[in-house]
């Protein structure tokens, strides 16, 4: 009887491992199908550790494609199964994943609360990889609130944990986020160094999702240093990779970059507004609050450059409302200053990457 019960569990785990091998690649649909096949085997058996893991893994695939509502539901189901079984590693990982959804939705206090509990559990369990994941995500929260020194400290702890465990996929995520931070801090040589290493890792791991995000951040770095042709090449590459994966959120981010390039080439470019409106429509349902806030602010900037002050202030006002709700303190301050002076401002420098599994 035990053998009969274990057989579908073993097959399901094999299918789930197959999904994990491909979920960041060019064909996430195949990863979803593998998880669905695994769940079809697991659900009739009832609550198991494997069921908690596969629900969570499918949630991460869906989150990675911008379907945050479905991901959130799957993470909640995974947590419920883990709690019913007192499966502590499953609970810790589910809490970290739920924190990423709260973070992307702009609910930073909830994200930090869940990350904190996940960190404590990971420490008690001796799970260095999960500890690194949580440190990485806490670094993104700190960076989004302009607490740069704290962000660097979190990223370095994460990097040390991942390098000690020789987890190159996770090392890639931290390098990418350090690239964002260094670009914002105008440490351009450091940014170029870590983003080059991140790109090499993404290519070697065939991690198309991460490669696209790294290309976005290489584009942002090129923009910051005035290399517009290089910025355009990277942005178009990022868009092509997002197109491969049918990822509307990352398509949106690429359009935003192309709009920024157009604005640099022609102040008040009408083409930039067209690109930003396309970006806004693509990210409208992806629940990436940071990206939506940045796009609204950018549209306001272009209208300001066109001397259309009323339209500029309307888009800045919408961006400000989102930034306040999300707790993006630095962005709130910059938007308030802009609305008072109708002046230019510092832009968000790139795309972050949360760690999920």
CATH 1.25.40.10 domain extents, the chain: 1-124
Upper half-sphere CA count for residue 89 (Cβ side, 13 Å): 12
Q: What band does 3 get if pLDDT is binned at 50, 70 and 90? A: very low
**Can you say whether residue 228 is alpha, beta or left, with left for phi > 0 and alpha for psi between -120 and 50 degrees?**
alpha
Our CA angle for 123, 98, 246, nearest 5°, is 125
Retrieve residue 133's tokens.
């994941």
**Rounded CA separation 193/196 (Å):** 5
Kindly state the tokens that stand for 140: 């993104």
- DSSP assignment of 121-163 equals HHHHHT-HHHHHHHHHHHHHHHHHTT-HHHHHHHHHHHHHHHH
Over residues 104-120, the mean pLDDT reads: 91
How far is the CA of 300 from the CAs of 18, 145, 307, in angstroms? 45, 22, 10
Predicted local distance difference test score (pLDDT) of residue 11: 77
Q: Please, what is the Cα angle at 320 between 315 and 325, to 5 degrees?
A: 135
Identify the H or E element spanning 246: none
Q: In which band, very low, low, confident or very high, does the pLDDT at 252 lie, cut at 50, 70 and 90? A: very high
Report pLDDT digits (tens) over 140-183.
999 888 888 999 999 999 999 898 888 898 999 999 999 999 99
Determine the pLDDT at residue 108: 87
The confidence score (pLDDT) of residue 283 equals: 86
* Backbone dihedral angles phi then psi of residue 25, each to the nearest 5 degrees: -90, -160
Could you tell me if 46 and 88 are in contact, meaning their C-beta atoms sit under 8 angstroms apart?
no
The first and second tokens of residue 279, run together, are 């970006």
**193-202 own/partner pairs: CB under 8 Å, 24+ apart:** 195/221, 198/172, 201/168, 201/169, 201/171, 201/172, 201/175, 202/172
Q: What is the predicted pLDDT for the residue at 1?
A: 38
Whether residue 24 is predicted with pLDDT greater than 70 in this model: the reply is no
Please report which confidence band the pLDDT of residue 202 belongs to, taking 50, 70 and 90 as the band edges: very high
> 195 pLDDT exceeds 90?
yes
pLDDT (mean) for 207-224? 95
CA atoms within 13 A on the CB side of 197: 17
**275-286, pLDDT tens digit by residue?**
999 999 998 766
Q: How far apart are CA 95 and CA 134, in angstroms?
A: 10
Question: May I ask the CATH architecture of the domain 1-124?
Answer: Alpha Horseshoe (1.25)
- 33-63 pLDDT, tens digit per residue, is 888 988 998 998 899 999 999 999 999 988 8
Rounded to the nearest integer, the mean pLDDT of the chain is 89
Question: How do residues 280-307 score in pLDDT, each as one tens digit?
Answer: 999 876 678 889 999 999 999 999 999 9
- Strands in 291-353 per DSSP E: none
């Amino acid at each position: 009887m035990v053998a009969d019960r274990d057989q579908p569990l073993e097959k399901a785990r094999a299918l789930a491992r197959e999904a994990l091998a491909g979920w960041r690649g060019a064909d996430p649909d195949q990863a979803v199908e593998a998880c669905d096949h695994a769940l079809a085997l697991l659900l009739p058996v009832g609550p198991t550790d494997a069921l908690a893991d596969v629900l969570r893994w499918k949630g991460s695939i869906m989150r990675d494609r911008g379907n945050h509502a479905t991901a959130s539901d799957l993470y909640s189901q995974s947590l419920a199964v883990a709690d019913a079984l007192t499966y502590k590693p499953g609970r810790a990982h589910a809490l970290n994943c739920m924190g990423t959804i709260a973070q992307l939705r702009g609910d930073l206090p909830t994200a930090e609360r869940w990350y904190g509990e996940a960190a404590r559990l990971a420490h008690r369990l001796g799970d260095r990889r999960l500890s690194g994941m949580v440190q990485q995500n806490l670094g993104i929260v700190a960076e989004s609130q302009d607490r740069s020194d704290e962000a660097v400290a979190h990223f370095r702890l994460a990097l040390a944990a991942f390098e000690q465990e020789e987890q190159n996929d996770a090392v890639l995520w931290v390098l990418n986020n350090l690239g964002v931070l260094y670009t914002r801090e105008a440490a351009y040589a450091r940014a170029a160094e870590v983003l080059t290493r991140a790109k090499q890792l993404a290519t070697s791991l065939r991690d198309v999702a991460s490669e696209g995000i790294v290309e976005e951040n290489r584009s942002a770095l090129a923009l910051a240093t005035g290399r517009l042709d290089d910025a355009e090449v990277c942005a178009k590459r990022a868009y092509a990779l997002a197109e491969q994966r049918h990822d509307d959120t990352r398509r949106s981010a690429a359009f935003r970059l192309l709009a920024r390039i157009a604005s640099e080439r022609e102040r008040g470019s009408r083409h930039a507004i067209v690109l930003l409106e396309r970006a806004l429509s693509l990210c409208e349902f992806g629940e990436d609050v940071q990206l939506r806030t940045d796009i609204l602010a950018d549209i306001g900037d272009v209208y300001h450059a066109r001397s259309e002050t009323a339209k500029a202030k309307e888009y800045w006002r919408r961006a400000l409302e989102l930034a306040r709700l999300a707790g993006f303190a630095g962005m709130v301050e910059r938007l308030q200053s802009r609305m008072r002076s109708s002046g230019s401002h510092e832009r968000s420098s790139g795309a972050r990457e949360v760690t999920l599994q």
